[in-house]
């Protein structure tokens, strides 16, 4: 199997798994049981890992919350800000192409009486295809806006959003800014001293860490605005009462190790993965007449390296996938493949339902090789020809 679905998840880097292991088996103390040495040992290793995560993102160590992943982080960020008892504002702004872990939280707030604005993105034929349209965004934010939530990078078409501009518009109106940075953290620079976003969400399994652990930052770099969050999970009061439950040192250490490696290797990985992305695209274009790219051009600096979302002439993405079972890639968003509806990201770009159904996503990762890409092209082209 050739794995080309690295936006859905990445394999855990063996160096990360190795760092985790002693904290599962040997040093298994509860980091909140600090009355004895086993607990203190776990706590100090975990605190060091938290400090390292904070410094990679350029926030204070007490601004990092550990969660089960980006879904939980998005829920806590959006519900937490909007449903805090001292929150007076009743309006939320987001984009039309967010992950369901944002859109569904916002839809639930709407049902509960919040006003919601979903700002469109530039259409496929625009030079900024997939980027949020800043004009309606500026018109939408007002002194009733509690939160602007826009993802840093998209999981389907790889478009990177202009977070500094989005944040400046939101802050002018006194709103807080949350960004679902799940596809960005570990892939591109996410420096909260330079980009003034108050809350970001991420999941370790998108940058070669394990599944089931993620983070939410609860303050930006500079300036540090006051973020009041209503906790979702209450109990023992861990993590400053914002997310109760015994923390897992092995997971926190894995997340920190994965982030350190991803940041240290990011430019080298981006270059390699970018080359493989072009190789795949060239091969597909040569083998399949009329195949088109969805989202920004591959030359654009506003597209994640390694992301290829393309549209086939005449054939549904699902059929192509079925004909190419030796390659792992996805139709639609794959994070929600249970959903048979065409991708809201692609229809949000202005594609028709039929065009969206004829689209697939490839996500190239750091463990892919040029031999794998060449073999994948052969399989994909042969699979297409067997259907066309
Ligand atoms: N946001 C984005 C942009 C994602 O790509 C994903 C994962 N597909 C999530 C949120 C949810 O992450 P998790 O499943 O790890 O909670």
pLDDT in tens, 318-329: 999 999 999 999
Phi-psi region of 95 (alpha: psi -120 to 50; beta: other; left: phi over 0): beta
Is 213 in contact with 66 (CB distance < 8 Å)? yes
Note the pLDDT tens digit of each residue in 269-322. Answer: 999 999 999 999 999 999 999 999 999 999 999 999 999 999 999 999 999 999
Q: Cα(52)–Cα(49) distance, rounded to whole angstroms?
A: 5
Which atom of ligand 1 has the smallest separation from the CA of 74?
A: 10
Confirm whether 335 is a catalytic residue: yes
The rounded Å distance from CA 70 to ligand 1 centre is 5
Answer whether 69 contacts ligand 1 (Cβ < 6 A). Answer: yes
Query: pLDDT value at position 226?
Result: 85
Query: pLDDT value at position 223?
Result: 74
Answer whether 155 contacts ligand 1 (Cβ < 6 A). Answer: yes
Beta strands in 96-143 (DSSP E): 115-119
Note the pLDDT tens digit of each residue in 339-382. Answer: 578 999 999 999 999 999 999 999 999 999 999 999 999 999 99
Q: Cα(31)–Cα(365) distance, rounded to whole angstroms?
A: 34
Asked casually if ipTM beats, i.e. exceeds, 0.95, the reply is yes
Domains annotated on the chain, with CATH = 2-9+266-387 (3.90.1150.10), 14-263 (3.40.640.10)
Give the H/E segment covering residue 228: none
Pocket test for ligand 1, best of 76, 77, 99, 337 (most atoms within 8 A of CB): 99
Q: Which residue out of 82, 310, 324, 335 is catalytically annotated?
A: 335
Query: pLDDT value at position 335?
Result: 46
Which atom of ligand 1 has the smallest separation from the CA of 68?
A: 16
Q: Label the pairing between strands 359-363 and 307-311.
A: antiparallel
Q: In which residue ranges of the chain is pLDDT below 70? A: 332-339
Count of Cβ atoms closer than 10 Å to residue 118 Cβ: 18
Query: pLDDT value at position 164?
Result: 97
Query: pLDDT value at position 334?
Result: 45
Give the residue, by CA position, lying nearest to ligand 1 atom 10. 70
Provide the 3-class DSSP secondary structure of residue 130: coil
Helices (H) and strands (E) counted in the chain, each on its own, are 11, 13
For 47, half-sphere exposure in the C-beta direction (CA atoms, 13 angstrom radius) is: 11
Answer whether 161 contacts ligand 1 (Cβ < 6 A). Answer: no
Give the H/E segment covering residue 263: helix 249-287
Cα 223–chain centre separation = 24
């Amino acid at each position: 199997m050739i794995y080309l679905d690295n936006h859905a998840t990445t394999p855990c880097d063996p160096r990360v798994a190795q760092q985790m292991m002693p904290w599962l088996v040997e040093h298994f103390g509860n980091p909140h049981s600090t009355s004895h040495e086993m607990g203190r040992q776990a706590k100090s290793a975990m605190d060091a890992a938290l400090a390292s995560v904070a410094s990679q993102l350029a926030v204070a160590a007490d601004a990092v919350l550990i969660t089960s992943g980006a879904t939980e982080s998005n829920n806590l960020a959006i519900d937490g800000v909007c449903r805090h008892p001292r929150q007076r504002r009743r309006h939320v702004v987001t984009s039309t192409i967010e992950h369901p872990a944002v859109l569904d939280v916002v839809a639930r707030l709407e049902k509960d009486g919040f006003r919601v604005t979903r700002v469109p993105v530039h259409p496929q034929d625009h030079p900024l295809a997939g980027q949020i349209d800043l004009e309606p965004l500026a018109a939408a934010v007002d002194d009733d806006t509690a939160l602007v939530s826009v993802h840093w990078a998209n999981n389907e078409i790889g478009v990177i959003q202009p977070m500094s501009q989005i944040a400046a518009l939101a802050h002018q109106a006194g709103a807080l800014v949350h960004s679902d940075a799940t596809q960005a953290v570990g892939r591109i620079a996410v420096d909260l001293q330079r980009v003034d976003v108050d809350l970001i969400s991420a999941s370790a399994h998108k940058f070669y860490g394990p599944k089931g652990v993620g983070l939410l930052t609860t303050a930006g770099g500079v300036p540090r605005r006051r973020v009041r969050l209503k906790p979702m999970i209450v109990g023992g009061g861990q993590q400053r009462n914002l997310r109760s439950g015994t923390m897992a040192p092995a997971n926190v250490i894995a997340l920190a190790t994965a982030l350190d490696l991803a940041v240290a290797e990011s430019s080298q990985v981006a270059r390699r993965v970018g080359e493989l992305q072009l190789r795949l695209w060239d091969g597909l274009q040569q083998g399949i007449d009329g195949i088109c790219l969805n989202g920004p051009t591959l030359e654009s600096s506003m597209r994640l390296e390694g992301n290829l979302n393309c549209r086939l002439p005449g054939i549904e993405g699902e059929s192509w996938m079925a004909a190419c079972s030796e390659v792992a890639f996805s139709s639609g968003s794959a994070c929600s493949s249970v959903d048979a509806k065409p991708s809201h990201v692609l229809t949000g770009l202005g594609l028709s339902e039929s065009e969206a159904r004829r689209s697939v996503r490839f996500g190239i990762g750091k463990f892919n090789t040029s031999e794998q890409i060449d073999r994948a092209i052969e399989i994909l082209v042969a699979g297409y020809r067997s259907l066309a």
